[in-house]
Chain A
């Protein structure tokens, strides 16, 4: 079973508020991905890291989303100004190396009122 830890499990914010969620990747996994899963169960890649460095992110992420994976601290994903359309399950996944299988945490379910 995966040992990726995500907190909080549930997050409720008003529109325009900041929303921050955290992820502790599996021990020894230097590659971290963030995905958004919407209510239709569709997955959208947001950003990935390797050893604290951002490798790729989509345009949406560049504008309102920020993320970091500092050394010896949890990774985090923050939405600067939440919108109703951001309501979704945010999944963190970690991997032993580039291109290997990814192991997911339980997710943070964000509801934007």
Chain B
């Protein structure tokens, strides 16, 4: 079945550091890829999506590029802030399949200190 792998379980940075969270996926079809962010006590919030090869998604200074060749969708931000501290999830959906459910990675907890 489909799967999403996030390499980093936890990331600790200082304000203004560069952020990279690695995401690789495995899917039989041509999935749509997402990044979600979850703050304590809340549901996941959509950051952005990308649905075709080389498409870049971006929001709030975060960005990721769909790479079909390397089956990756790495999240990057040039300068993190303390308010970015949260859990980040890479996810995929295969809308062409029989179920458009989201398949999530295990999440990466980002802690940013001032």
Contacts and interface: CB of A to CB of B under 8 A. Distances in A.
Contact of B43 (A40, A56, A105): A105
Chain A interface size band reads 20 to 34
Interface in A39-76: 40-43, 45, 48, 55-56
B93 interface: yes
A43 B45 contact: no
A81 interface: no
A99 B34 CA distance: 12
Given A41-B106, A101-B34, A56 B44 contact: no
Tell me whether chain B's interface is mostly helix, strand or loop, or mixed: loop
B107 A101 contact: no
Contact of B49 (A41, A45, A55, A101): A101
Contacts of B95: 98-100
14 contacts: A1-B45, A31-B100, A33-B101, A35-B102, A48-B100, A48-B101, A56-B98, A56-B101, A93-B43, A93-B102, A98-B95, A102-B93, A102-B102, A107-B43
Given A2-B43, A41-B107, A95-B100, 16 more contacts: A4-B43, A6-B43, A33-B101, A35-B102, A42-B106, A43-B89, A43-B102, A45-B101, A56-B98, A93-B43, A93-B102, A100-B95, A101-B46, A102-B46, A102-B102, A104-B45
Interface of B: 32, 34, 36, 41-46, 49, 87, 89, 93, 95-96, 98-102, 104, 106-107
